[in-house]
Amino acid sequence: MFDTAIAGSLPKPAWLAETRKLWPQWRAEGEELARVKRDATLLWIKMQEDAGLDVIGDGEQSRQHFVHGFLEQVEGIDFANKVEMGIRNDRYKAMVPQVVAPLRLKGRVHATEAQLLRAHTTRRIKFTLPGPMTIVDTVADRFYGDRVKMAFAFAELLNQEALALQAQGVDIIQFDEPAFNVYLDEAADWGVKALERAAQGLHCTTAVHICYGYGIQANIDWKATLGQEWRQYEKVFPALAASSIQQVSLECIHSHVPPDLMALLAGKDVMVGVIDVASETVESPEEVADTIGRALQHVPRERLIACTNCGLAPMSREAAEGKLRALAAGAALARERYGRTSE
Ligand code: ZN
């Protein structure tokens, strides 16, 4: 009960990349870069285990950005000529690569990280991939001329990589779809279908993470415009509840999401965000357990997984390490509080 997992990313050590950046520059290149990526992945596997987490990830140490890390292994994308584009409905500008030809995988994308994970922990392992709709929103299209068509083209490639990850022993494959909180109608219409295409044929656990973004200023400013009640999830949750995806990761602590929206996910495992990623202040175990307690009013306890609101990538290492420990300690406290006595 109350398994613990992180949404996905963790801070990169200063010897691997620039710190506290969403698109950091690597500190090394070639073989040396491959070596330090591996070192950082091993470090975070150990840190997650030591903190006491039940599900372990690679902390996304090998990708510069959660979307572009996948795109780098895709043929048909021009990385040499990036263009500036407003993303997430123009919330912020980013330099993005361009799709210029039919999309194909050059080969495996995350084979090394999955192999490291499987070899170095006996706990369940989760691997994250960007979702098709979010990819489409983070790349410039000069070829397909149709968002839906391009999303399904990416979904096919994601599916190839996901099946390969599963074959390597990955227990949970999670697709990250922050765009679902931005393009609400499209998400409920074709976004979820594209996601199901990406997950087609998987027999491991499948998950989707939907958030209000990293704790960067553009997102903090955006959240300030969303009013007292954030009801974005209301549109997409019914479509997800009807889908084949098994777990849904959502924001809870310090967000203005009405907790009763979680009830729309009946039949799914719910990864409840009990760790804030927009603040370096480390939660107390009591605060984490309280948040779990609030979520339990809308989610059956056997379906609740304690998670972070989003990735921890742009944070300090100290804060991230503290938050991993708070997550595990808070879930343990919640098990004591709500484990046996409530029935
Ligand atoms: Zn997120």
Q: What is the pLDDT of residue 341?
A: 54
Please tell me the distance between residue 342's alpha carbon and the centre of ligand 1 in angstroms. 32
pLDDT at 343: 47
Output the CA angle 226-180-20, nearest 5 degrees: 75
Strands 205-209 vs 172-176: parallel, antiparallel or unpaired: parallel
How many Å lie between the centroid of ligand 1 and the Cα of residue 215? 9
Q: Provide the 10 A C-beta neighbour count for residue 15.
A: 11
Instruction: Tell me the pairing of strands 92-105 and 140-141.
Output: parallel
If you measure from the C-alpha of residue 179 to the centroid of ligand 1, how many angstroms do you get, rounded to a whole number? 10
pTM above 0.85, yes or no: yes
As its CATH architecture, domain 30-338 has: Alpha-Beta Barrel (3.20)
110 alpha carbon – ligand 1 mean position (Å): 19
Block means of pLDDT (10 residues each) for the chain, 343 residues, are: 96 96 92 98 98 98 92 95 89 90 97 98 98 96 96 98 98 97 94 98 98 85 88 94 98 94 97 96 98 97 97 95 98 93 50
Ligand 1 centroid, distance to 201 Cα (angstroms) = 25
Strand 140-141 and strand 74-87: the pairing is unpaired
* Cα(178) to centroid(ligand 1), Å: 6
| CA–centroid distance, residue 213 to ligand 1 (Å) | 5
Residues in contact with 126: Cβ distance below 8 Å, sequence separation at least 6, in sequence order: 5, 55, 56, 57, 170, 171, 172, 173, 174, 207
CA–centroid distance, residue 212 to ligand 1 (Å): 6
| Cα(335) to centroid(ligand 1), Å | 26
CA of 176 to the centre of ligand 1 (A): 7
Residue at 56: amino acid letter: I
Protein residues near ligand 1, an ion, with CB under 5 A: 211, 310
Measured in Å, residue 271 CA sits from the centre of ligand 1 at 12
Ranges of each domain in the chain: 30-338
Token pair, residue 319, equals 């804060």
Distance of CA 121 to the CA centre of its chain: 20
Listed residue (66, 127, 56) closest to 324, CA to CA: 56
Sign of CA dihedral 135, 136, 137, 142: positive
Cα 36 from Cα 17, distance rounded (Å)? 9
